[in-house]
Structure 1
């Protein structure tokens, strides 16, 4: 219940910091702090997914409804992979493109982020 509102606040703060520009005091520090908060929140959201996959795997071994549980596990595993890819691309790849691209090619990070989203 704390993670999602914290992530919303971190993303809003990230937008405000991005709009103020690098001339502000400690701009880069705040940008990195809110990126770190966002990544930590994303990881905190992934823990229940990992826990659910573990529980479904155990239920598939123990329960009598093995076929149904295996189908749920497979579907949930696909969802987990999509979430991991989304977080990786939107948080890591886009930030890396922003960091290593020259000003002329800065649009590539925006296009990458929008395509993944």
Structure 2
């Protein structure tokens, strides 16, 4: 059963301000759903935790996600604490997706690839 759970795990990549805010909301919603005290959902809760989170040695749930941004402002304001963060202080993209994609992505490309392979 544990092998099955590991194969079904999810790794999310959260890019930029919008991606990071949506990812934070996603993990907050999943956490709230899992923590509802409903004994009929015990199997669901276990599967959900194993699919979306790693559990560290202190029993803390760590989202199975990589946070990616070219500035740390949004990353610092996220409610949920993520351990896999790539945030360069190279300035943002000023709401210009094309500039972020064509120029800023070059700064982060290798780190993102390495982080996803390790995760």
Q: Which has the higher contact order (CA 8 A, sep 6+)?
A: 2
Fold shared by both chains (TM-score > 0.5): no
TM-score, normalisation: structure 1: 0.41
The structure with the greater share of residues assigned to strand is 2
Kindly name which structure, 1 or 2, has the bigger radius of gyration based on alpha carbons: 1
